Amino acid sequence: MKAEELNSLLILSEGSACLPDTLEADAKQIATMAHDTFEKDGPLLVVASGRDTISVSSSIKRLAPDKVFVVQVQHPRSKLNRFNLVITPRHDYYPLTPQGQAQIPWFLRRWITPREPPDKHVVLTLGALHQADSTALQVAASAWHDELAPLLKPLLVVNIGGPTSHCEYGADLAKQLTDSLQNVLWSCGSLRISFSRRTPKKVSDILVKELNDHPKVYIWDGKERCTWKFQDFHKSLQERGVARPFTGKEDVSYWLS
């Protein structure tokens, strides 16, 4: 199946604004649509990302195998023949490398996926897919110019996120990071630190306590720069009539009716 033959596109993505929402997606209905539109539009291209989409995208492929081309972004941790194409970071296959085999105890290997080398329909990327291309970087540089230009160079920027199931963010990690930054401060003109909404308070508190008074350190005040996405979210709720601004004391008895 050639790329130019794919005339329709469906995107499934967990935790995003893509439509249809993964939890609402009906694999059978989508497969039927692919059958109905095949003669006119050609195969339906289905691009899915995230673990919540795996069952839906693979079901679409099973129900309409010749009418769809399913691309699964991120390794599905299951049989790859359920998809036409899998796009995943190269480091997902680290357990199969000689270094990985040497580091992973033999009794754990059967539980670690993937267990087979990538075949011809697996595309490996260096890191995860993202939207930080040259244009995005230029736009960001322009937006942040007035904020960052006055700071002494070289400028070290540290963006701190939050914990994952594989990496906890505790006091020990915060202390380790603080020590590392203090060790390199002598070589920096300025150090800029920012936290995300997911950064545990105990972590941010430690860094602020240890570094905030240093003349080279600038800690972002925590204001969200991407407020537009939340504004759009609340606007969509108001347009659907499920939310509205609270302007003060009012009769809310209708909520209980």
Token digits of residue 8: 């329709």
**pLDDT at site 18:** 43
Rounded CA-CA distance 77/62 in Å is 17
Token digits of residue 11: 């995107």
Q: Is the pLDDT of residue 53 over 80?
A: yes
Q: pLDDT grade, residue 230 (50/70/90)?
A: low
Mean pLDDT of 96-125: 83
Q: Which residue has the higher pLDDT, 242 or 228?
A: 242
Q: Which residue has the higher pLDDT, 104 or 81?
A: 81
**pLDDT at site 99:** 84
Mean pLDDT of 17-43: 77
- Most confident of the following: 62-71, 87-96, 212-221: 62-71
In the chain the first and final C-alpha atoms are separated, in Å, by: 56
Give the lowest-confidence range in 17-21, 22-26, 109-113, 185-189. 17-21
**pLDDT at site 93:** 87
